[in-house]
Amino acid sequence: MQNIVVLGSTGSIGVQTLDAARNLGLTVVGLTANKNVKLLAEQIEAFKPTKAAIADEQDAAYLRGRFPNTEISHGEEGTLEVAEMAETVVNAISGIAGLAPTLAAIRTCKKIAIANKETLVAAGEIVMEAAKERGVAVCPIDSEHSAVFQCLAGGENPIKKIYLTASGGPFRGFTKKRLETVTKADALRHPTWNMGAKITIDSATMMNKGLEVIEARWLFNAPPENIEVVVHPQSVVHSMVEFEDGAILAQLGAPDMRLPIQYALTYPKRFKNPYKRINFLERMSLTFEPPDMETFPCLRLAYDAMRIGGEAPAVMNGANEAAVALFLEEKIAFARIYELIEQTMRSYTLKRNTLDDILAADAWARERVAEMALKY
């Protein structure tokens, strides 16, 4: 088995990745975190990595005092150093901050297991080209993309359509009027998955599914019209692939992120684990319905950004991150998230879609959201 690095080890995906690594007997040589120094210290104690990094310099100094046998660094530079030190890198960083470490990892690793949606949303073409040039395998961790990845494993048949399933989030069936009064606590109450705050809000707005549509476009080289979202509240079918002959393959599993995480770590092999299984002898119903893009327009915005191309997805993503942060700080209403994203996208003029353009577009979108939010 290989050595691994976990970027964003204290987040929900990072914690579950370490659980999978422990089950598989993998050697964790590097860890990075943003602010949760207490949990990072516990992880260093448990896994004894060669290197670790955290955002704040004072936190890094504290960790150096506790763990003299682990090289501790801080800031973006420290994260990039850790990203370049293993043959398998798990990117579980939240937000656009995951882009630079992804590109750094691709320069040195053999496989990157990616849970960071924003990397492929903002710069999917650049990232996938870099991985192809260096022969680096890109294995998705998101349950939906892992499902598609598994359905396509070992096959070369052309795809007619990719169906990405969505739980519908906590507000499935709500009307626009009802969404006007939902609270932060309401939005964080996901019916199926236990995730971090930002991704849970994205699920509530259905932007999470929009980000996944753009990811799928780059991961599987599929045009926008061949990617469709279906709402599946039970979260048992994680996604489906339809082929030219009409056959549809689906990947099913219990709603447990450790399953796609483990597959990304062990691909192309599968290993035993103690996680929950589906029992088809229990009473079970699987239902599917179309998404309500009028009530949840963030999904439509993602399709729009994908079709426009260039920096449009980066603008949309940056505006979304900024708007969600304002909502979590209870500075704007839930419905205002979509409005700020759409207004920001309409204000942007496309450039050349270089990496610098993408990063500048992301920064511009965040500033634009902050400016508009102050006016209300």
Q: Is 227 left (phi over 0), alpha (psi -120 to 50) or beta?
A: beta
Tokens 């209870």 belong to which residue? 330
Q: What is the pLDDT of residue 1?
A: 58
Q: What is the pLDDT of residue 156?
A: 73
Q: What is the distance between the alpha carbons of residues 241 and 249, in angstroms, rounded to a whole number?
A: 5
Whole-model pTM?
0.92
Q: What is the distance between the alpha carbons of residues 78 and 87, in angstroms, rounded to a whole number?
A: 18
Positive or negative CA dihedral for 8, 12, 17, 22? positive
| Domains of the chain with CATH codes | 3-140 (3.40.50.720), 142-292 (no CATH), 309-376 (1.10.1740.10)
The letter for the amino acid at 62 is Y
Give me Rg for the CA atoms of the chain.
Answer: 20
Q: In the structure encoding, which two tokens stand for residue 346, read together?
A: 């309409």
**pLDDT tens over the chain, length 376 residues:** 579 999 999 999 999 999 999 999 999 999 999 999 999 999 999 999 999 999 999 999 999 999 999 999 999 999 999 999 999 999 999 889 999 999 999 999 899 999 999 999 999 999 999 999 999 999 999 999 999 999 998 677 789 999 999 999 999 999 999 999 999 999 999 887 778 899 999 999 999 999 999 999 999 999 999 999 999 999 999 999 999 999 999 999 998 999 999 999 999 899 999 998 998 888 778 999 999 999 999 999 999 999 999 999 999 999 999 999 999 999 999 999 999 999 999 999 999 889 999 999 999 999 999 999 987 6
Q: What is the pLDDT of residue 248?
A: 95
Q: What is the pLDDT of residue 178?
A: 94
b/e string for 311-321 if b means 16 or more Cβ within 10 A? bbbbbbbbbbb
- Give the number of other Cβ atoms within 10 Å of residue 203's Cβ: 24
For residues 207 and 317, the answer to whether their CB atoms sit within 8 Å is no
- Give the number of other Cβ atoms within 10 Å of residue 225's Cβ: 9
All residues at 6 or more sequence positions from 176 whose CB lies less than 8 Å from its CB, including other chains = 294, 295, 335
Q: What is the distance between the alpha carbons of residues 203 and 167, in angstroms, rounded to a whole number?
A: 8
Within the chain, where are the H helices?
Answer: 12-24, 37-47, 57-66, 75-83, 99-108, 117-134, 143-152, 176-179, 184-187, 197-205, 207-219, 258-266, 298-308, 312-328, 334-347, 355-374
**3 state SS of 214:** helix
Cα three-residue angle 358-348-98, rounded to 5 degrees: 25
